[in-house]
C-alpha cells in the first residue's frame, strides 16, 4: 500500500475515514495496518471486509488504541463491515430488522454521544451475469437504512451515513456516464434513490467542499484504468443538517493504494460528540 501524499489531519479536528478495503486480509498484506497507524483517525469504517471476526489479521487486532467491531455475512468471504474507533461506542447496532438484509453483514450503526455513524456496505445491483436482478434488493436496503437513520435524525442526533454506496449520483461522479446508463451503479432508478436522500435534507459532504469533476473513489482493476483516472465516485459520507456545521473538511485520497477503492473522509469539530451544544 502506497500513498504519494498523506493527507494529515490538524490537531484540532477528529478525522473520520470510510474505506472499502476489498478484503481485509488482502489489504493487510498491502499495508492496511500501517496506513491505519499513520491516519491519526478517530473513527474508521471499513467495508467489504470479507472475513469472519475470528479471521481478522493479527496486525489489525494489534492496533490496541482502537476499539474494533466486525460484522460478517453468513456466506463465507462475502461482504462484511468493520468499525475501528478510539472511543467506545455508547451503542452499536447491526440490524435492519429483516433477515434478508442482516444475513449479508452490511451495517453498523454506532452512537458516540450526540453523533451517530452508520457504516454501510450498500448492495451492488448487478446480480448474475450483470442482469441487474439485484437492483430491487439494493433499493429495498437503501430504503430500510433511510428509515432507520431518519429516526435518529428526528431524535436530535447528528448523523453521518458513510460507506460504499455502489451508486454514482450524477454525471460528474463517473468518468464515462454515457457508457454506463444501463449499468448498475448508474441506473436512473438508483440515482433517483440518492436524489431522494438529498431532497430529504442529507448532504453529500464531499460536494459541500468540492464541486468540480474528476474526483473518484473506485476504479476497475483492468490495467491502466486507475492511472488514467477512469473512475467512479461511489463512496460517500452523507451528513444530516445538524451534523454539517461540524464538518470542517471533506476529502478523497485517490493516491492511497491497497484496494480498488480509495479512502474518503471528513474532519470534524470535536464538539460534534458533545451531548449538549456548548
Active site residues: 164
Counting Cβ atoms within 10 Å, is residue 201 exposed (0-12), middle (13-18) or buried (19+)?
Answer: middle
Counting Cβ atoms within 10 Å, is residue 212 exposed (0-12), middle (13-18) or buried (19+)?
Answer: exposed
Give the gyration radius of the chain's Cα atoms: 17
Tell me how far apart the alpha carbons of residues 172 and 246 are, in angstroms, rounded to a whole number. 26
- Return the bridge partners of 247, or none: 268
CA angle centred on 81, ends 76 and 86, rounded to 5°:
140
CB-CB contact of 231 with 186 (8 Å):
no
Amino acid at each position: 500500500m502506497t500513498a504519494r501524499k498523506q493527507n494529515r489531519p490538524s490537531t484540532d479536528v477528529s478525522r473520520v475515514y470510510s474505506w472499502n478495503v476489498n478484503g481485509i486480509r488482502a489489504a493487510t498484506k498491502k499495508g492496511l495496518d500501517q496506513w491505519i497507524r499513520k491516519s491519526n483517525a478517530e473513527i474508521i469504517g471499513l467495508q467489504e471486509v470479507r472475513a469472519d471476526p475470528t479471521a481478522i489479521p493479527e496486525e489489525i487486532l494489534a492496533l490496541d488504541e482502537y476499539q474494533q467491531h466486525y460484522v460478517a455475512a453468513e456466506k463465507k468471504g462475502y461482504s462484511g463491515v468493520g468499525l475501528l474507533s478510539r472511543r467506545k461506542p455508547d451503542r452499536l447496532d447491526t440490524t435492519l430488522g429483516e433477515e434478508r438484509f442482516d444475513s449479508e453483514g452490511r451495517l453498523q450503526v454506532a452512537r458516540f454521544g450526540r453523533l451517530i455513524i452508520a457504516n454501510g456496505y450498500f448492495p451492488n445491483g448487478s446480480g448474475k451475469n450483470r442482469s441487474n436482478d439485484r437492483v430491487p434488493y439494493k433499493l429495498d436496503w437503501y430504503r430500510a437504512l433511510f428509515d432507520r437513520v431518519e429516526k435518529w435524525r428526528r431524535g436530535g442526533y447528528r448523523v453521518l451515513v458513510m460507506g460504499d454506496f455502489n451508486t454514482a449520483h450524477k454525471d460528474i461522479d463517473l468518468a464515462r456516464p454515457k457508457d454506463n446508463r444501463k449499468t448498475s451503479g448508474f441506473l436512473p432508478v438508483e440515482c433517483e434513490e440518492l436524489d431522494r436522500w438529498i431532497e430529504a435534507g442529507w448532504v453529500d459532504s464531499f460536494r459541500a467542499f468540492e464541486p468540480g469533476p474528476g474526483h473518484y473513489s473506485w476504479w476497475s482493476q483492468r490495467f491502466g484504468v486507475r492511472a488514467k483516472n477512469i473512475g467512479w465516485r461511489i463512496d460517500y459520507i452523507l451528513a444530516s443538517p445538524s451534523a454539517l456545521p461540524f464538518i470542517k473538511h471533506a476529502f478523497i485520497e485517490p493516491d492511497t493504494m491497497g484496494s480498488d477503492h480509495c479512502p474518503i473522509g471528513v474532519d470534524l469539530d470535536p464538539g460534534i460528540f458533545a451531548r449538549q451544544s456548548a
